[in-house]
């Protein structure tokens, strides 16, 4: 769903980590999603059909034109971070605004990007946000193990899994 008066945004289609044309990991990119509400971003991501689409929702954070807010949607849900869509977005921005540093505020935390031009064109790199590890709730863990054909036995505090015999 778009906010009132907003026009349909342009969706760019790039591939990160591409060694050859047609290769790599595709991502959709919307450079101006400021007029989109969550349902609109979700609909666009579903229409694009890639694993993730990146949406730049806010620019010029802290009065810095290279500091922006970015969100990621898969065809079925919002996700907190996507490496290949982050790389693709940085390359698009570097093509349009020049290489150098960008700072992305993501749902997973801040990501500092470095872009440069080399023999193969523009490249982008970053140090990923720290992962968050949390235990699964019992119901989700049980369902996951069931789907994988595993059982769970606890010995002390360490879980031990083994494959079901059938």
Q: Which residues are catalytic?
A: 52
d(CA 97, CA 108): 25
In the numeric block, the tokens 């290279």 are attached to 66
161 near 150, Cβ under 8 Å?
Answer: yes
Q: Supply φ then ψ for residue 15, to 5 degrees.
A: -125, 125
1 near 39, Cβ under 8 Å?
Answer: yes
Looking at 3-157, which runs of residues are DSSP E strands? 12-16, 25-30, 53-58, 67-73, 78-79, 100-106, 109-118, 121-126, 150-155
């Amino acid at each position: 769903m778009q906010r009132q008066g907003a026009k349909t945004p342009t969706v760019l289609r790039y591939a990160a980590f591409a060694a050859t044309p047609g290769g790599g990991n595709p991502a959709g990119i919307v450079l101006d999603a400021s007029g989109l509400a969550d349902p609109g971003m979700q609909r666009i991501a579903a229409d694009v059909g890639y694993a993730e689409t990146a949406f730049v929702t806010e620019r010029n954070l802290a009065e810095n034109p290279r500091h922006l807010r970015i969100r990621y949607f898969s065809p079925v849900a919002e996700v907190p971070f996507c490496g290949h869509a982050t790389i693709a977005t940085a390359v698009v921005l570097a093509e349009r605004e020049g290489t150098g540093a960008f700072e992305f505020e993501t749902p997973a935390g801040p990501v500092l990007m470095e872009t440069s031009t080399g023999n193969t064109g523009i490249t982008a790199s970053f140090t990923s946000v720290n992962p968050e590890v949390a235990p699964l709730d019992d119901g989700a863990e049980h369902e996951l193990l069931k789907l994988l054909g595993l059982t769970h036995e606890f010995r002390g505090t360490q879980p031990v899994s083994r494959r079901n015999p059938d």
